Homo-oligomer: A and B are copies of this chain.
Amino acid sequence: MRPYRVCVSQPEAHPGPVPIRRPRADQARQVADVLRHQIYDGAYADGLPTEAELAGEFFVSRNTVREALSVLKNEGLIDRGTKVGTHVAVRKYDHGLDALVGLKETFKDYGDVRNEVRAVLHLAAPPAVARKLALEPGAQVVYIERLRYLGELPVSLDLTYLVPDIGEQVIGYPLETNDVFSLIEQVSGQRLGGATFALEAVSADPHSAATLQVPAGSALLMAERLTGLDDGRPVDLEYIRMRGDRITMRGNLVRSDT
């Protein structure tokens, strides 16, 4: 009935847990993964417990804890100093994956979102863009490129293609301080309906890295998102690069009826 040799179990005779003999790197990853989300959840605002305390919590050796902390340090998530202990180095921000909201709405509890407008252009839509926006190839679209800041921190680089009738009106408003989503609703007189999105992890090319002020090769969350009005018409195609070290996407899943 049990096809696996349970590698190391707690012997019945021992009341307490026993050390687990697995490759230290495997154990360190396991510890690092739990700690990472503890950090995101704000558990260690005043600093992490000592190595000895963590070794006790995770029932692993101090060397394993040290290796786990080194993984998190290399990710830039924590700082370590011999005198000052281990502290959280960066704060991550939650971006909801359950509803269609702009960044300013999303981050309203964290601080002000402002946009550096890098380009506002009229463009002849390449065939792939035109098809997604249900336009003829070569149709004029409005292209907006924004580097988005939370306070002084660049968090997201957004490349936006808007259908011409909506786009023309949207660029009549201040793009530095408004979400494009709310402007689309304002100028169209319609609510947004829904969006399809594709999300992936990519390494930052040197140019994008420099723009987002991260080291080249840093992990980015990259989204393609096609948003439609309430009547189903697609109006907004975006390519969004978010800093992996700063943004966590959160959501809920429900078991489908299979």
Chain A to chain B contacts (Cβ below 8 Å), 29 pairs: A2-B172, A8-B121, A9-B122, A17-B123, A17-B138, A26-B119, A26-B145, A26-B207, A29-B205, A29-B208, A38-B128, A43-B128, A92-B200, A99-B253, A99-B254, A99-B256, A105-B258, A193-B255, A196-B251, A196-B253, A197-B252, A198-B250, A199-B221, A199-B251, A202-B244, A203-B218, A203-B244, A219-B244, A230-B255
Interface assignment of A124: CB less than 8 Å from any CB of chain B: yes
Give chain B residues whose Cβ lies under 8 Å from the Cβ of A75: 202-203, 205
Query: What is the predominant secondary structure among interface residues of chain A facing chain B?
Result: mixed
How many copies of this chain are found per oligomer?
A: 2
B175 touches A201 (CB 8 A): no
Given A127-B57, A219-B244 in contact, is the A194-B120 Cβ separation under 8 Å? no
A4, A120, A230, most chain B CB atoms within 10 A: A4
With both chains docked as a complex, state the minimum distance between the C-beta of A139 and any C-beta of chain B, in angstroms.
Answer: 11
B122 touches A198 (CB 8 A): no
B25 touches A254 (CB 8 A): no
B121 touches A20 (CB 8 A): yes
Interface assignment of A140: CB less than 8 Å from any CB of chain B: yes
Interface assignment of A3: CB less than 8 Å from any CB of chain B: yes
Give chain A interface residues in 129-187, CB to chain B under 8 Å: 129, 138, 140, 143, 145, 159, 171-175
Interface assignment of A191: CB less than 8 Å from any CB of chain B: yes
